[in-house]
Structure 1
Amino acid sequence: MSNPNIIITSLGIRGKIGELTPNMVLKYAEAYGTLIGKGKNVLLARDTRLSSRMFRNEIINGLLSVGINIYNLGVVPVPCLLFNMRRNNIHGGIMITGSHIPEDWNGIKFVDGKTKTFITSDFLNKIKKIYESKNFKYVDYKNIGSIQKIEGLTGYIHSILDNIDISLIKKKKYKVVLDPVAGCGLTVTPQLFIKMRCKTQIINDSLNSEYPYFPRKIEPKPENLNELSKAVEKSKADIGFAHDIDADRVAIALNKSGKILNEDIVLALIVKDYLENHENCTLVVNVASSRIFQDLAKKFDANYEEVKVGEVYVSTRLNQILNNYSNINVIGGEGSCGGVILPQLNNTRDGPLACAKILEIMAKNDLSISKLVKQLPTKYYMIKERIRYSQDKYKKIINTLKEEYFNYEINEIDGLKFYNKHSWFLIRKSGTEPIIRIYVESEKKNRTKKLSDEIMELINNITKEKSTKEE
């Protein structure tokens, strides 16, 4: 029987500490190194979780034992690891991070050295096959790998600054509040703000001495960002930013009110600016993203594509477009988590880059963040729900919804997405937790609520489980 506290995702493994054991991490590192091959080079990075230090040691031992040379970046954001992958002779990468999930969990993300993006499920299956068969290719004394500490932050920071109009931002002297949840963003985002001459207030920048070690819940959702909202309102800041631990995500607090923006709006602001300033564009988002992205693509005559939920699917599709069409400009992201991907710079969700881009857009348009939001096309209302499930009941849920909403068109890219002219809803199994996620959206708040209530009543009658709203 599978362990619900150990989850194999499309790009690695996650688990609850104590059940995701050091030995398990060691063996996965050996399997990954065996697959890459003796004598190859791997970048290693981690987040600030206490368990990440423990797992770092096991990964180092595992990789060295199969002849892998390690270049250790230390504590850096996920996008910094991917940036350095693309600019060095590196054959693989590992990020030790639980990302936005609770601190008593952690995970290992593997990078494909050929594509310089996180691995696909096919790549992971090869790792799993070696792990399960224990077919590790240990080396003799003469071929043990080497380890070297390297600095990778400077080049990454410069790459962001080189791709924004820093002079415009400097003139504005913005007042900014940052909540990095004592995570990897602390190594980068404050430095960006200094370079842009922003007056910066940093909150939640240090770990507690006892559990819970992190100063707030890790995921940058509205209910976890009350301190940021209050700090922005009290200090009369121009904007507030929040990261998760590995800084691939960003949330925004509006000036004056401190209200936390919906994740889709963060990405939409950057997408709108990009499409306004580039021709012959393709926009790629996941199926759980707001319909606002279709509207933006239509307004600026851009191609629009949807892929499965998960950064790797967006990044892979962006790579395919870049490799096959030299004259197309591309931008992508996951509106469902506020993750922006500009593959020409870094083909991964990039929180620090998103912060810099938002400030540039404010300065370029000479508008506050609140006024920029008002310039976006039609406002949509989304409700997100989550509920635990069993496989047999999931099939019954799907069949019931198909019968009930037979007049909707259906997209089966990832789970089931039902849609018509006025609204859509998506039901899919999470890739990181043993839950079903449900997304409902329309142009009218009352229509969204009514549709959500109908769907959840049907699902609750089948599962007999209580659902939880996601803000």
Structure 2
Amino acid sequence: MMGSIFGTDGVRGQANTYPMTAEVALKLGAAAGRYFRKDGQNRHRVVIGKDTRLSGYMLENALTAGLTSTGMDVLLMGPVPTPAVGFLTRSMRADLGIMISASHNPHSDNGIKFFGPDGYKLSDTAQSAIEELLAGEITPAKPANIGRAKRIDDAVGRYVEYAKTTFPARGLLSGLKVVIDCANGAAYRAAPEVLWELGADVVPVGVAPNGFNINENCGSTSTQTASEAVVSHGADLGICLDGDADRVMIIDETGQVADGDQIMALLAARWASEGKLAGNTLVATVMSNLGLERFLEGKGLTLLRTNVGDRYVVEAMRQGGYNLGGEQSGHIVMTDHATTGDGLIAGLQFLAEMAQTGQSASALTQNFAPIPQMLKNVRFKAENDPLMNGNVQKVIEAGHGKLAGTGRLLIRKSGTEPLIRVMGEGEDEGLLQSVIEDIVGAVDQVVKADA
């Protein structure tokens, strides 16, 4: 019996290691196909996109075999951004969308994300139902009902044209030089094309994928290459995407990096002033900086916090009817434009502010002074949980006491990797560092004892 394999963002792991094997992908495709083809009669279709990892070929073929074995017709998009899969699932009237990607992780990892017919990521209920099917024997389709698979050659073009419609006016970027770092990932074709067709002078970075170099010294988690390109080319802005292009970091003309919190602060304030911010509320996670919360409060706006993960942000947005949310890590969700985080479209909204106001990127990214924040990760064996250790719990409790009234702690297990994430925030940077180091040391001691 196969146990729970879904994490906070689909299924993820090291390629060719459980659960990221061809065998599991085949059965997962069959289970998903059976779940979405409940009637067993009418034909149904599924959209599959992927990033540029070498293992994507293996998983794409295995998923296709599983899906077609239960009667699903498969539409293969090739390398496209994650948000493109959400858009195309809905646009092409598919019952299911699948993105094969491990986002910002190295090439050795991969993942499988599912989207429903509305273009949004699958609910916990739907994922649980698929896992139940995985645990048993999956009934295949009759020979006459086996599905077909075909390549969709214009998938990138469809997304390019849609992304351009979210920008105020063609040609508005004329005279602006933009560095676009595609992380050698899924947006390596789409992003430079969108910016060039909208009138920008484009300097592409990270647009030569080879199956192994995705996110390697480039992209939203490694911004130095793009920062250097902005300065050396005298660019007005840098846009850094991650491997599947659902995250973005903005680099100003001096090479300084602005994270998702600063981008959300800008958009929330501008949208509110124009009466476009639904409920005068921004949805973000517990990781967002306290400075962002104070900035919004100063403008009479509300910050609604959720658990870490863009899918939880989207769930809260849909439940409350809000249209702007995201994560400090660069997921910017604008439900007026997309069903999930879209790094390229978020970058376009930032560029629109630059073009319409005439202000520099540095002026638009300094919306608030961040409260000192520190994040450290400790890798552990997946079968053990250091946070259950009594001494670790005592050290964490002591840390909460030391920061009481001046800061906060957030200690959690990553939903995508075997990591303990220790995040702290406080006005006294020296005290904060001491507290974080104490907790990391206690966790590390338990990990080494279990080795």
TM-score past 0.5 threshold: yes
Q: 1:344 to 1:465 in 2, by over 3 A?
A: farther
Q: In the alignment, residue 394 of structure 2 is paired with which amino acid?
A: T
Where structure 2 has 5 or more consecutive residues not aligned to the other structure, the ranges are none
CA displacement at 1:312 relative to structure 2: 1.3
Could you tell me how far apart the structure 2 residues matched to 1:272 and 1:421 are?
Answer: 27
Work out whether 1:44 is the aligned partner of 2:48: yes
Q: Which amino acid aligns with 1:63?
A: L
Secondary structure of the 1:293 match is: helix
CA contact (8 A) 2:79 2:187 kept: no
- CA distance in 1 between counterparts of 2:385 and 2:202 reads 52
Residue pairs, 1:56-455, within 5 angstroms = 56-113=60-117, 115-133=118-136, 135-150=137-152, 151-166=154-169, 169-171=172-174, 173-208=175-210, 212-214=212-214, 216-217=216-217, 220-221=220-221, 224-256=222-254, 258-278=255-275, 280-322=279-321, 329-335=322-328, 337-374=329-366, 376-389=367-380, 391-396=384-389, 399-401=393-395, 403-405=397-399, 407=401, 421-455=405-439
Work out the number of aligned pairs and report it: 438
Q: Which whole-Å CA distance do the structure 1 matches of 2:399 and 2:445 have between them?
A: 17
CA distance in 2, matches of 1:169, 1:379: 31
Distance 2:51 2:161 in 1: 21
Question: Following TM superposition, by how much is the alpha carbon of 1:341 offset from its aligned partner in structure 2, in angstroms?
Answer: 0.3
- Letter paired with 2:258: L
Post-superposition offset of 1:436: 0.8
The superposition leaves residues 160-218 of structure 1 with CA deviations (integer Å, 9 ceiling, x where unpaired) of 333332358335x111112212211123211221122111111221134xx84447246
Q: Distance in 2 between matches of 1:212 and 1:24?
A: 22
Amino acid at match of 2:415: G
Give distance in 2, aligned partners of 1:225 and 1:11: 24
CA distance in 2, matches of 1:40, 1:405: 53
- Could you list the per-position Cα deviations for residues 354-385 of structure 1 after superposition, in whole angstroms to 9, with x for gaps in the alignment? 110111112222211112223x1333222111
Shift, 1:237, TM fit: 0.9
Q: d(CA) in 1 for partners of 2:63 and 2:388?
A: 38
Normalised by the size of structure 1, how large is the TM-score?
0.85
Q: Report which stretch shifted further, 423-432 or 66-75.
A: 66-75
Task: Give 1:352's aligned amino acid.
Answer: L
**Runs (5+) with no aligned partner, structure 1:** 323-328, 409-418, 467-471
Change (3 A) 1:149 1:393: closer
How far off its partner does 1:109 sit? 0.8
Letter in 2 for 1:394: L
Separation in structure 2 between the aligned mates of residue 406 and residue 314 of structure 1, nearest angstrom = 26
- Residue 402 (structure 1) shift: 5.8
- Could you say if the C-alpha distance between residues 215 and 346 of structure 1 is closer, same or farther in structure 2, counting changes exceeding 3 Å? closer
Is the contact made by 1:168 and 1:363 (CA closer than 8 Å) also made in structure 2? Answer: no
Q: Secondary structure at the match of 2:326?
A: strand
How far the C-alpha of 1:457 sits from its partner, in A, is 4.1
CA–CA distance in structure 1, aligned partners of residues 212 and 157 of structure 2: 32
SS at match of 1:117: coil
What is the Cα-based RMSD across aligned positions, in Å?
Answer: 2.8
